[in-house]
Amino acid sequence: METQRQKKIGGVIQKDIADILQRAATDGGLKGTLISVSKVSVTTDLSIAKIYVSIFPANKGKELLEGIKSNQPMIKHELAQRTRHQLRRVPELLFFLDDSLEYIDGIEKSLKGEENPVKNPDLLEKRKKS
């Protein structure tokens, strides 16, 4: 259960990191790329922030995440400049790729297509009796 302080800091970090990443993407020449921060969870001692990033189109996701991780010190510095009146110390930033949209899209495609496991239960793996 997150405290109010964790939620507040997570919201501040989420807003500022989304702005930093989107600005870096447009300045870097990635005009058709949308980067959004879907979730930020902060530890109870406020020392680590796990940032879940959603990237569209999804085929550029892995390479952009590697670029974000390699530029993590500059991102942390920019975040510190933006939040210097709100946070005493900026937490350690850990970036993760949020692939929940692709997962949902895959489920919708399988339910609409011929590979619908609800209509054709033979597509599901058989349970082994032990």
Rounded Cα gap, residues 69 and 63, in angstroms: 10
What single-letter DSSP state applies at residue 46? S
| CATH number assigned to the domain covering 2-115 | 3.30.300.20
- Where do the domains of the chain lie? 2-115
Max Cα–Cα distance, the chain, nearest Å? 61
Q: For 33-84, how does the pLDDT look when each residue is reduced to its tens digit (9 = 90+)?
A: 888 899 999 999 999 999 999 988 878 888 888 989 999 999 999 999 999 9
In our burial notation (b when 16+ CB lie closer than 10 A, e otherwise), range 65-87 reads beebeeeeeebbebbeebbeeee
Predicted structure pTM score: 0.77
